[in-house]
Structure 1
Amino acid sequence: MMDETDRRLLALLQKDGRRASADLAKVIGLSVSATNDRVRKLIDSGAVRSIEAIVEPSTVGFGVTAFIYVDLDYGCSEEEFVSEVTAIDKVLEVHHVTGTHSYLLKVRERTNQELNAFMATQLKRLPGVKRTETLISLETLKETLSLPF
């Protein structure tokens, strides 16, 4: 069970996953070893999936963000589709959604031409894909992975 100290620790880690244990301990009022134990438990429990760098896509050449609705054929193997689409590196998110569409994907590409090629040669050839609808983001005004603790 997570307590207030765990929530404060998660909030700090979300802002800076490289923050020194001694600094974390000072802020939350625990010893370094107790803080390290809590961080390890948060990781072991799955509350913290990973601690990694968040790269700014536009600075490394990924200027196109697309959200793609995918409709699947009735009776197809959704498990096979999910297995294959989640294995594609440029597909950053896969959401099973309600409404008229089956899935919503978030994809990053360098150019619209590369996005078009991805759609034609990879996505539309996945098992069960009946139809897609693509929305291209003109500007990202907010994007975060941080939860509001």
Structure 2
Amino acid sequence: MSLNISYQLDELDLQILELLIKDCRTPYLEIARICHVSGGTIHVRMKKMEELGIIKGTRILLNLPKLGYDVCCFVGIYVDKTSSFDSVFEELSKIKEVVEVHLTTGNYSILAKVVCKNISNLQDILLNKINVINGVQRTDTIISLDQRVDRNISI
């Protein structure tokens, strides 16, 4: 594994990351026991990986349908000119139902992942929140019927 940073990950770092990928709630002392090192060593390694931006934080994974968010879709967004990108990204980030925004190659300038309660809610988001953003030329929406894979990359 090659990183463009001055700190190179070693086998212990990779082992720590693998354990956290499986369960990010694993206590440092449990990780230390599995890795045959002290808890202090794990703490120092974790702190270093956080400072370098390798570990960006932790998140809770929600079961969105159980919370009433039954529609997941991907919105391909055509932006009228490249000078509009920053303002479009900023406006998209203000819409709570927009959970991911990607600058892309291919047909769309931007691909946004949107979760919402139902089709009426989706229609409102598209017509009254996304399509009215200055710089958005038009959108294409793809509704996800089912998510079959949801994981982090293995190291």
Under TM normalisation by the shorter chain, which class is it?
over 0.9
Q: Are 2:70 and 1:60 equivalent residues in the alignment?
A: no
> Partner residue of 1:138?
145
> Partner residue of 1:46?
53
Note the C-alpha offset of 1:76: 4.4
**Alpha-carbon distance in 1 for matches of 2:141, 2:50:** 35
Uncovered stretches (5+) of structure 2, i.e. residues with no partner: 1-7
Q: Are 2:154 and 1:148 equivalent residues in the alignment?
A: yes
2:43 to 18, 36, 48: 36
Q: Are 2:30 and 1:17 equivalent residues in the alignment?
A: no
Uncovered stretches (5+) of structure 1, i.e. residues with no partner: none
SS at match of 1:46: coil
Correspondence 1:115-134 to 2 at 5 A = 115-134=122-141
Work out the number of aligned pairs and report it. Answer: 148
Aligned residues: CA RMSD? 1.3
Amino acid at match of 2:128: T
> Partner residue of 2:5?
none
- The 4+ residue runs of structure 1 with deviation greater than 3 A are none
Note the C-alpha offset of 1:72: 0.7
Note the C-alpha offset of 1:74: 2.6
Question: 1:9/1:75 Cα in 2 relative to 1: closer, same or farther (>3 Å)?
Answer: closer
> Partner residue of 2:98?
91
Identity over the aligned pairs, expressed in percent?
A: 27
**Alpha-carbon distance in 1 for matches of 2:109, 2:59:** 30
